[in-house]
Amino acid sequence: MLILKKLITLGIVFLFLASLGSFAVSSPASRDSKQEALAILTEDSKDALISATFEGGDGQVYISTVEAIGFPTDGDSYVILSSGIASEAVDGSIGSTGGISISNGHPVFGTEINDVATLTIKLKVPTNAKTLSFKWLFGSNEIPEYVDEYRDLFRAYAILPDGSTKDMALLPNGNILYVGDRIQNYTASDQNVSINEVTSAYTATLDVSKYRGKEITLIFQIADERDDSVDTFAFIDELKFVRESREKADRRSYIMMIQIWSKYFFNEYDQFAALYAKAEEIGVSNETLEKALELHLNATEQILYAWHTDDLESIRIKIWKQYVPLPRVYAIRRAYLYERDAIELLMSAIEEIES
């Protein structure tokens, strides 16, 4: 069967007719492919979807619910992308191929590629996102006979907010996927799958913490090299943003409270000595002075207790960088409130005398 296909492609007349045919049938425009994107996205990352489009023959992308070779990895559906009819991998023949060719389109060799299928997914990076990741698996009917001869490819890369690109679906050795001798660990696929050989499933991961709130575009592309008759497939699922854990977010807001209340405390504390001296000088009652001093001492006691120290000045430096052991935030707040009351008491007593 494979040999027959190759023989056909060697016949010039057939090749000519075949390419004429495939070009005549299709002038594929990109179409909405939100459903495909939703099949790949995990439940809690679906709200990050801005838009999705597909370019290629209508059969080259397929939302599958067939359980095969570990897919779906999340939810009950996933996407198969193919340089032929994608559903043929698991579910018969649905749709047509597209016949889009790109001369010099091969990302590794710069050669012509055919039956190019491109799924584009635009996402907004959540404000607490750490990484963007998805699971993928590559398989081809070119393997094992035509390895390094018909170097069909699967490429998945991100277009970052600054316009630069970053390849995501890479082999453990860092290579972009193509039917070449560096593809390793491929195995005959299981009974549910009509692909000669498939790789293991891999996880692609990109650090997106720098792009929070911004847009990232993901491009998934698959194609034949040289001819278009023996096809290649990619399975894709579990596209998701991994977010900062609740625990970490909680710790961050806890530290922010520590910083804020400590700063408030020192704003009040730094006024005390001058105000107290002035109050004494203009004759504020001893009772009031004593009360203010008591509040001030309570405040100091609380802030030292909060910061596990007996050196008040050292706290000023620690506020911005040292949280081990973690200060007691409730005691910092209490210290601030005592100090604030002390200041208010002195100020109103002074005001009363001066007016």
Taking the complex as a whole, the smallest distance from the CB of residue 63 to Ca ion amounts, in Å, to: 9
Six-digit token pair at 101? 């060719």
| 268 touches Ca ion by CB under 5 A | no
**Judged by CB under 5 A, which of 28, 56, 57, 84 binds Ca ion?**
84
Size of site (CB under 5 A) for Ca ion: 14
Give the DSSP letter of residue 44. G
- Residue 235: strand, helix, or coil: strand
**What is the full DSSP assignment across 236-283?**
EEEEEEEEPPHHHHHHHHHHHHHHHHHHHHHHHHHHHHHHHHHHHHTT
Residue 182 near residue 235 (C-beta atoms within 8 A): no
| 72 touches Ca ion by CB under 5 A | yes
| 70 touches Ca ion by CB under 5 A | no
Taking the complex as a whole, the smallest distance from the CB of residue 208 to Ca ion amounts, in Å, to: 20
Residues in CB range of 137: below 8 A, 6 or more apart: 69, 70, 71, 198, 199, 200, 201, 202, 234, 235
Taking the complex as a whole, the smallest distance from the CB of residue 307 to Ca ion amounts, in Å, to: 49
Residue (88 or 224) nearer to Ca ion, CB: 224
Residues in CB range of 77: below 8 A, 6 or more apart: 39, 63, 64, 65
Quick note: the x/- pattern for Ca ion over 172-211, rule CB under 5 A, is: ----------------------------------------
Quick note: the x/- pattern for Ca ion over 216-255, rule CB under 5 A, is: --------x---x-xx-----x------------------
Residue (78 or 307) nearer to Ca ion, CB: 78
How far is residue 297's CA from residue 277's CA, in Å, rounded to a whole number? 16
Binding residues for Ca ion, rule: CB under 5 A, are 72, 74-75, 78, 83-84, 115, 150, 152, 224, 228, 230-231, 237
